[in-house]
Structure 1
């Protein structure tokens, strides 16, 4: 098999990259280990930054998101028995959109298949070869047959446990990260919403989050032991914990409903440097992971492939490798800032092992400052709605990477 760009991983990063390349007349093949039904049924949260929603709309895959997604103009921070709102739009002129990651995946799959795109489901990557040559190769298995995909470039969007990052030669990459001593216990609930906008809560018992998916489906989380098992929690025990952490002194209470899903989410921060070796580029979770507190995971993946698609378009249009050569540097500036923000939000809102009353009061004081200072609230809001891509602020870079591009 032969294509221009081989993409290992059919999640939002790989599918969006394939779509962006298609708009520039660049062929690609997407290899995804899971089946389409499995991929589309994997329910994942989705807080989309302002720039992410703009890109989806501009490139023709945002129609259903605009109809069904919930635009939020602010978020709430709850602590010390009270709730304070951060006015995202008032402070930045931008909003966020709640639209599940799995819904984005559905839209992208349909768009790629309708356009005749090659998305090979149940195609498991086995390994990458000749990454420093002009024709790198991807070995994969589909059914009982093993295949080889030859291409000009390979992009690894196959997540933390995929084969792409492991294809870097020994000593060619550095990895930074930490595991957090807690996880999130998540539930999906059939019932009326408890709030119109997200609630991030600090409580002496630990963190909690209320997120509205739709008028009928709600998503709620609370901090838990990362090694806990969802089967250990009865519905009554879950609602008792939710009420303890979320009900406020003014009489507000979280709405209950039928729990249709329970799971425990692990928490980690991880960054791989560089995000390129030879003609292999990493994007999304294959290169970096952030705790979900800052709502940055999918948005970072979108930012990666946005840069990469422009670099590849520049290469095929003029032969220039300017953006591709600087891909890691461009993306990692944003990755590290998003990692900092996610770490800060996590540290401010969670109880750590060995925390004492002093540490808790420090967290309350920080939340009181953030919600009481316009400057501090603006800093949170700017990061939450999405920082600008600094490379796009360079007029020469913009002209070099956007000339003649349809999108």
Structure 2
């Protein structure tokens, strides 16, 4: 049956089972619109005037950064970036600047799958704890703001979450233990905050994780050995923290790991031979720790080392000759250790390495340094 009401058409279909009625919705529900308007009221963006488009009656049509599920017209995606290639930024000739806070009304959008409010610099306040009730959420990206407070303790309730990016804020406290319940998580970026405490021991339970970035915090304690169970992890950055203890040998056995950055911590013990014999690792930065012992002489023809930085440690012994056996070695920094002996000469990469790569050692000589 079709009922004509002015310019609007409402199609009503009666189902044969039990007499239920289903209406074809042509606009977003009033509750979704109210939630968006409350979010808008808590934010100020004076230059690009993005929120000027949030005025017509249907928030599923023409509202910048808002998208709806075509099947039910519920708001499914809020994506507002303050630094992107969108024409609005090119026209303005500047990046975005937004202040204010995240209104808890966002939690009323219970079909939300993506919430991106990134790179606005001055959005402050805490992450609403009720965000963890959004069971459909897959992407939470709040990078590049001034958010403070703690990561919601119940973050692990977001069982569909694949991306969690809270980098470059002012978030403090510990990493919640529940985070390791995010079984679908692929991208974790908590870098550039004020996080303290230990990395959760069972981080290795996040089997889907491909990037784990927690650099530039105040994390302490050991590197969990469970990290070695992350078979899909390609990028691990724990640099510039206060981590102590030894580097787990299991880290060097990770099958797809290509970037390992543990620089600027308080790590001790020897460098596991598995780290330098892993042919997949292309960037290794262990600089500015308290590592000791000899550099494992285990590189081989499968080694493709774009960056090897072992500077500012307490390493002893010779420069490993197996560097010349590697398929490729780019930047090497072995400076400011206690290495001694003759630097191999004539063969790559030694023929092109310069003195700063070896300076500040006890008694290295030859090659780019004074002759023995």
TM-score after normalising by structure 1: 0.16
Question: Which fold has the larger relative contact order, with Cα–Cα distance below 8 Å and residues 6 or more apart in sequence?
Answer: 1
TM-score after normalising by structure 2: 0.17
Highest CA radius of gyration, 1 or 2?
Answer: 2
Between Structure 1 and Structure 2, the one with more helix by share is: 1
